[in-house]
Amino acid sequence: MVKVNKKYKDRLFRMVFNRKEELLSLYNAISHSEYTNPEELEINTLVDVIYMKMKNDLAFLIDDVLNLWEHQSTWNPNMPVRGTLYIVEEYRRYIEQNELNLYGSRLITLPIPQFYVFYNGLKEEPDCIELKLSDAFSRVHSELEPCMEFKAIMMNINRGHNEGLMKQCSTLREYAEFVARIRERTKDGTALGTAVEDVMDSCIRDGVLAEFLSIHRAEVFEVLLTEYDEQRHIADEKELSRREGKEEGRKEGRAEGTLEKAHEVAVNLFAKGISAEEAASICGEDSSLVAEWHREWEAAK
C-alpha cells in the first residue's frame, strides 16, 4: 500500500511538467526552438510569496526569456490581470537577486516576459486566443491611451486541439488523452474514484504517461479527486448565482414595468452570466431590444 502525502496540494499539470526535461520539451514546441540542455532552465515558480500570498503554476528563465505558465480547467478572462501581478513579483525578485540598481544612470536589462495559459476546460474555445490586460480597463475615458499592457496567450490543450503542438510535445498529447479518458468515464456515470483507477490502468497499458503514472499513481489519484471537487464547487456556485439572478430579475421585473427598470434588470442579469435570451424572458421585453442592450453592455465592459 502506497501512502499518500495528505499535504500534497499540487496540480496534475504541474506534476506532469515538473521535470526540466518535460518542461523544455513543451517550451521548444511552444517557441519553435531546439534547446537540448534542460539545465539551461532556471525555475522561478512563485510559491507562497510573503505578504502577497501568491502562487503560480510554473515560471522559468531560459536564454533571457522569463516564462510564466498557468493551467486553467475553467474559462477565466482575468488571466492577464493575474499575470501582471505575477510578473511584477518575478521582476522584483530578479532585480533583487541580480543586485540591479533602479536608481542609477544606466538602463537595467530585464528578461523578456512570455505568459501562456494552458486551458482544458469543458467550454469550447479555439486553439489559441490572445487576452490583454487592457481588456479589463474602464471605458469611461476611452480617449486616454493606457500606460501599460500585458498579454496572455491561451492555448486550448483539450484532445483534438492544437494538433501541431501536440505532435511536437508527446507529453502534452498524452496529458490531454489522459484527461479526456477520465471525462469520458465519468460522463457515463462512473464514480470519479473508479474512473481514475480504471483510466490509470488503461493509460499505463497503452503507454500514455505510463512511466509517470506508474511512479506517481497515489499522488495522481489524490490530486484528481481534489481538482474535480473544486471544479464541481465552482460550477455549483455559478449555477446558484445564475438562479438567484433570475429570481431577482423576476421580482424586480414584476415590481417595475417601465422600460428603464427593465434595462437596469437586464444589465444586472448580464453581469451574472445570464444570456440576452433568458434576460428577455425574465424582463418580459422584446428579445431584439434586450439583445441590443446586451451588445451595448459588452462594448462598455
Place of cell 502506497: 2
C-alpha cell at 125: 474555445
Neighbouring CB atoms inside 10 A of 245's CB total 21
- What is the per-residue pLDDT for 227? 72
- What is the per-residue pLDDT for 135? 92
The tens digit of pLDDT for each residue in 87-130 reads 999 999 999 999 999 999 999 999 999 999 999 998 899 999 99
Cross-strand partners of 261: none
- What is the per-residue pLDDT for 52? 39
The tens digit of pLDDT for each residue in 4-49 reads 333 333 489 989 998 899 999 999 999 999 999 999 999 877 654 4
- What is the per-residue pLDDT for 8? 31
Label residue 289 by pLDDT band (50, 70, 90): confident
Q: How far apart are the first and last CA of the chain?
A: 54
Q: Which residues contact 202 (CB under 8 A, 6 or more apart)?
A: 181, 208
The tens digit of pLDDT for each residue in 189-243 reads 888 899 999 999 999 999 999 999 999 999 999 888 887 655 554 444 445 555 5
C-alpha cell at 170: 508527446
Evaluate whether 79 touches 152 at the Cβ level (below 8 Å).
yes
Q: Is 129 helix (H, G, I), strand (E, B) or coil?
A: strand
22 phi/psi in degrees, rounded to 5: -70, -40
Confidence (pTM): 0.72
User: What does the DSSP 8-state code read for residue 99?
Assistant: T
- The percentage of the chain sitting over the pLDDT mark of 90, rounded to a whole number, equals 55
Cross-strand partners of 67: 60, 114
pLDDT tops 50 at residue 72: yes
CA 225 from chain centre, in angstroms, equals 19
User: What does the DSSP 8-state code read for residue 137?
Assistant: S
- What is the per-residue pLDDT for 49? 43
Evaluate whether 249 touches 269 at the Cβ level (below 8 Å).
yes
Evaluate whether 226 touches 33 at the Cβ level (below 8 Å).
no
- What is the per-residue pLDDT for 291? 84
- What is the per-residue pLDDT for 114? 96
The tens digit of pLDDT for each residue in 144-164 reads 999 999 999 999 999 999 999
Label residue 251 by pLDDT band (50, 70, 90): low
Evaluate whether 276 touches 290 at the Cβ level (below 8 Å).
yes
